Structure 1
């Protein structure tokens, strides 16, 4: 997998920032921040997933897929996905 998985991803009005969080058992949890708006109208939603992954890269990939799914399901998305 590509180490650049932790870079922010623009999806229309949203910015996804995936993260991998190590736990005490040595595995990794996926987390994603979903931001929208600017200035005083900025909102940020943080999603953490209970699945544990063997590597940080797999956790980051899971975070990206879940964040993209959330935006497609709940967001008003009119443009394509691009990396910042």
Structure 2
């Protein structure tokens, strides 16, 4: 997404539901930036968790002042 690489991920919980997360990575010159966001919210499907992670990643990288996660 622009100058950032956003990688969404899903994780199955012990109760069979799914949690969402994403990482944001940016390399520029000699420096790099990497941050991982994990969410407490659970989803009934892997696709629901993935869609949530993609949306949150897009918000994080496209807004000048992203919402606090």
User: TM-score scaled to structure 1, two decimals?
Assistant: 0.69
- C-alpha distance in structure 1 between counterparts of 2:44 and 2:33, whole Å: 31
SS in 2 for 1:65: helix
Out of 53, 57, 64, the position equivalent to 1:67 is 57
From the two aligned structures, give the one with the greater strand fraction. 2
Aligned length: 65
CA distance in 2, matches of 1:21, 1:74: 29
Q: Which structure 1 residue ranges, 4+ long, deviate > 6 Å from structure 2?
A: none
Q: How do residues 37-76 of structure 1 correspond to structure 2 at under 5 angstroms?
A: 37-38=27-28, 40-74=30-64
Which stretches in structure 2 are left out of the alignment for 5+ residues? Answer: none
Counterpart CA distance in 2 for 1:39 and 1:73 is 23
More helix by share: 1
- Asked if residue 18 in structure 1 is aligned to residue 18 in structure 2, the reply is no
Structure 1, unaligned runs of 5 or more: 1-10, 76-84
RMSD over equivalenced CA pairs, Å: 1.7
